[in-house]
Amino acid sequence: MTKRLFCFIALSLLALPGRADDGIYFMADADSYAAPIAIKAFITGWHGSLHGGDTAFADADVESGLRLGSNSVGYVWRYDYLLDFSPQTAAIYYEYKNRLTPMPQQLQSLSIDVNHVETRGMQFAHEFQLREAGDWRLRAAVNLLKGTQLTVGTLDGAAQFSGPDFKPDSIASLEADIDYRYSHPALHEQDLDWFPPAPEGDGYGLDVDLKGDFSARTHASLSVRNALGYVYWKDVPATRYDLSCQCSVSEYDATGQLQIDRRYRQTLPRQEHASLHYDLSPHWYAAGDILGNPLVTFASAGLGHQQGGGHEELRLEPQTRSLIVEAGYKTCGLRWQADRVDPAEARRFGLSLYGELAW
């Protein structure tokens, strides 16, 4: 049904009369941040310097399609991974991965909250001109999505160590409440002969983009991805267990089960991006940006230069001590962001590309 609807909308757009700005477009945008350790180390072996912190996220958005007048239709792929955890949890995991001695005889909290979803589908958008004064425009996009991956849930508990390593006889006590849903298990459930098929999901998302001029020198824009959005999953594997053990004396207690949830509605993570430009002269302007998601809000500020249809911009994001470089010319551009010259050491990284081809 989704493919038939896509074809119907595309053919309807092709039947519309052409305009000078008709053409194809492409956009790819990615942002990531890991508070406790470098991003590369975070997704590999946690080998490197530990900085502390309690959040990490990665998101990516790829869109490509056809624009005819104020309408557009295209393909969209999105990836979101948001992870919230206690600093003690990060420290324990770091010690475990690097074979360090855990802090003895101290009760340490365990807390993890994860929300991961990957989707793909079609997008239909329309741009409205709200008012001619200031050229205020609103673009609303509806995404019809197919869910391909999910991991969502929590782990809460506490651990106390009495020995030099993470072997069972060195764990004085461990309490854990595990409740999460997934496409693929992450806690070795296969050791319990648990091999459920990946779930299927369908959903939608609403994106909103607003831009215009407050004055001849002040320009603003606001983009909200997934202002409203859900994926409705069917037959979702889930792990729900309460674990308790005095591991050093081999006393264990586990209650719970592995099960299939017939229905589950996952809320798509919202992302907001606001920007404000103020012209200092015909060629120079001051720039400020805010990027936010359910875990963090980052602000940046800097200067930009514009001339002959092109622009270059340099901003600083103080919270992450990262540098942002943007450059564009008429219908194409890029953004690069990092807090380290060596990307392998970066804890904050971002990259954007966009382009349009008119006919």
315 within 8 A of 329, measured Cβ to Cβ: no
> Strand, helix or coil at 18?
coil
292 within 8 A of 298, measured Cβ to Cβ: yes
- DSSP code at position 309: T
The residues of the chain scoring below 50 in pLDDT are: 1-3, 5-6, 8-18, 20
Q: What is the pLDDT of residue 105?
A: 77
Domain count, the chain: 1
Cα gap 77→145, rounded to integer Å: 9
pTM: 0.89
Q: Which residues of 228-247 are buried (b: 16+ CB within 10 A; e: fewer)?
A: ebbbebeebbbbbeebebeb
Q: What is the pLDDT of residue 220?
A: 97
Long-range contacts at 162-171 (CB < 8 A, ≥ 24 apart): 162/104, 162/105, 162/248, 163/104, 163/248, 164/101, 165/99, 165/101, 165/102, 166/95, 166/96, 166/102, 168/247, 168/248, 168/250, 169/247, 169/248, 170/102, 170/247, 170/248, 171/245, 171/247, 171/248
Q: What is the pLDDT of residue 16?
A: 46
Structural domain boundaries enclosing 50: 2-358
354 within 8 A of 35, measured Cβ to Cβ: no
Q: What is the pLDDT of residue 4?
A: 53
Tell me which H or E stretch contains 4: helix 2-14
Q: What is the pLDDT of residue 8?
A: 47
Cα gap 118→77, rounded to integer Å: 8
- DSSP code at position 193: T
